[in-house]
Chains A and B, each alone.
Chain A
Amino acid sequence: MIVLAVLFALSGWSCLCFTMERHRRVVRALHWQRGTAILLRAAGIVLLVSALGPLAAVWPLPIAIAAWFAVFSLAQLLFVMFLTYQPRATLGLAIAGVPIVGLGLFLLTLVGRIRETL
């Protein structure tokens, strides 16, 4: 679940990163409309907030929040390494955000079912 939370946060950071002109240039992405940037910013925030979900599934909320901050930091460091050494991959991370949310919801449901069964 920590890995899933890190993926959420990675995806969130990448969305937020590409709202900044200087980083869009790094991956030679197209010039986005203002609306796209707003959408990306919203998606980034949603993904970062969503990173709390997988953590809250395994821990009580106070512990999950403490771990959430740690996941943010770790994901940011990982993301910047990607952006520096594999910039193209970061674009993939931003696009992968939606499937990651889907996978996360699926796993959360699965964990919930398993808990109910046990």
Chain B
Amino acid sequence: MKATFTLSMSWLHTWGGLVVGWVLFAVVFTGTLAVFHHEIEEWMRPELHAEEMSAARGLRVAETYLKHNAPKARSWSIALPEDGLVTVRSGGGRRAKSAVLNADGEVVTSRDTAGGEFLAGLHANFRSRGFGTWVVIACGLFMLGAIVSGIVVHKRIFRDFFTFRPGKGQRSWLDGHNLVGVATLPFQIVIAASGVLINPVSIMPAAVETAFKGDDGAYFDSIYWGPYRREAAHRPAAALPLPELVARGEALLETPVESLQISHPGDANSVVTLHGDLESRLTKMDRWVSLDAVTGRLLDGQLDYSGATTTSGVIVGLHLGTFGGAGVRWLYLLLGMASSAMVATGLVLFIAKREPRHAGKDQAWFVKAAARINVFACAGLIVACAALFWTNRLLPLDLQDRAALEGRIFFWVWVVCMLHAVVRPPRRAWTEQLAVTAALCLALPVLNVATTGAWFATYAMHGDVVRAVVELTVMIAGGLLGWLAWRVGRAGKQAPASKARPRVAVGEA
């Protein structure tokens, strides 16, 4: 225990921040990229390109396809058109078959890729359910602890509210860390708290244990009972046209329909369940209605939830940031990048403060090791993310388990970065890894032209805004990382002259 509360908080902030920071950077950075995981997925599947398609046409195309290809399936699912493509699915469980159709009803196939989902999975649980989830939850809890202890330690929040003094070595890192920390404070509190609470049953199992005897399924059934189910009549009957049922559903849901499920298609007891679009809602709780497919009568539905469930849905919505369209997601991306910068500057600050202090002492080995871990935990991860875009284009399309291989290459690139950080001096390793990432990002359009014949300019000319923006953003990020690599390299050359600069008092960090 330290002498004062502030010193205890400083100790917690410093050491908790360092140990968790290495993993936290990966969680925050991949989470930031995952904000646009659908768009990244779209860029990574260049074959899925189609003209605009209306919802009515999408329904017609889907119904025709399913009637021809799965007439006896127990259920059909249709996700209404997105980017000119409609996704259909027949049957359930392992026997389920899905297809993506264009406006002409043709099946569109695309490469097997890890895609943006890989980044989202990495953010959620390091692609390892159970243990990975707990690691991420622990990171979120530590992040909340670091935020609170950081507020306590940073005594001059309001006085330094607009302060950033560049080119002053350790002082600049501290200013940068404090600035992004304070500026993004509301965002970070929301993201860290919602990230922890997004799995309420995992972190607070006592309620389910007590009220439902530990039966998670019974708990979920009590809050969400959809969709309506009934046995087949084994009697054929003509169903109402799907556009008419969708129109009824939209009137009941008061939002556009996003997807629908049809159980026992063609049967007298067929049920159509329509799910409302959640994109424009802060609460991410499924709103659905089940209609009799033959008569159009309302059978069941769930439009409202209890206060606690709605709160839980709002927490999910706040974490995902999908409630306000692209505008809010851009805000999330920028603030996520700022949060990643906060974690990274905190890690660098730890080294900047201790390197001169511990030089030649027994603890020097730890500072040296931490400096190397910093490099591959931050720069190495960014290299691996850039490499993911390259492997998506470079791996042969007919490769078995292609998506899994992309994921493995991602981790191998990260391991190579770790080895590189071990053998090179830390500052050089930072410069080189940032420079490699910049090169990978800036050369991405060249690779894209070479492998698919398209790049951001052709995407833009054909009105493919999503892919154009993804590629342009990667290029801009490449430019920024190149500038950063140049600055770090230049600072390395000037480093000996900066040794005489005054240190910062412990309480200020």
Name A residues whose Cβ lies closer than 8 Å to a Cβ of B: 1-2, 13, 17, 20, 23, 58-60, 62-63, 66-67, 69-74, 76-77, 79-81, 83-84
* With A73-B183, A73-B187, A79-B162: A63-B328 Cβ-Cβ less than 8 Å: yes
- Tell me which of B235-243, B247-255, B330-338, B479-487 binds A: B330-338
Residues of A within 8 A of B159 (CB): 20
Contact check, B328 vs A66: say whether CB atoms are below 8 A apart.
yes
Q: Mark B179-206, 1 if CB is under 8 A from A, else 0.
A: 1101111110010000000000000000
Residues of A within 8 A of B417 (CB): none
Contact check, A80 vs B338: say whether CB atoms are below 8 A apart.
no
Contact check, B180 vs A70: say whether CB atoms are below 8 A apart.
no
Contact check, B183 vs A2: say whether CB atoms are below 8 A apart.
no
B356 within 8 A of A: no
Interface residues on B, range: 20 to 34
Name the residue in A2, A20, A58, A77 with the highest tally of chain B Cβ atoms < 10 Å from its Cβ.
Answer: A77
CA distance A23 to B163 in the complex (A): 9
Contact check, A73 vs B162: say whether CB atoms are below 8 A apart.
no
CA distance A79 to B162 in the complex (A): 8
Residues of A within 8 A of B338 (CB): 73, 77
CA distance A2 to B335 in the complex (A): 14
Task: Tell me the smallest distance from the CB of B283 to a CB of chain A, in Å.
Answer: 9
Contact check, A80 vs B179: say whether CB atoms are below 8 A apart.
yes
14 additional contacts (CB under 8 A) given A1-B327, A2-B327? A60-B282, A63-B282, A67-B324, A67-B328, A70-B332, A70-B335, A73-B184, A73-B186, A77-B179, A77-B183, A77-B338, A80-B162, A80-B179, A84-B164
CA distance A66 to B282 in the complex (A): 9
Task: Tell me the smallest distance from the CB of B488 to a CB of chain A, in Å.
Answer: 18
Name B residues whose Cβ lies closer than 8 Å to a Cβ of A: 159, 161-166, 179-180, 182-187, 190, 280, 282, 318, 323-324, 327-328, 330-332, 334-335, 338
Residues of B within 8 A of A76 (CB): 161-162, 182-183
Contact check, B328 vs A70: say whether CB atoms are below 8 A apart.
yes
Determine the residue in chain A with the shortest Cβ distance to B283. Answer: A62
Task: Tell me the smallest distance from the CB of A111 to a CB of chain B, in Å.
Answer: 14
Q: Which of B162, B318, B323, B328 contacts A17 (CB 8 A)?
A: B162
Residues of B within 8 A of A66 (CB): 190, 282, 318, 323-324, 328
Determine the residue in chain A with the shortest Cβ distance to B326. Answer: A2
Residues of B within 8 A of A63 (CB): 280, 282, 323-324, 328
Determine the residue in chain B with the shortest Cβ distance to A85. Answer: B166
* With A59-B324, A66-B318, A72-B186: A13-B282 Cβ-Cβ less than 8 Å: no
Contact check, B328 vs A80: say whether CB atoms are below 8 A apart.
no
Contact check, A80 vs B164: say whether CB atoms are below 8 A apart.
yes
Residues of B within 8 A of A72 (CB): 186
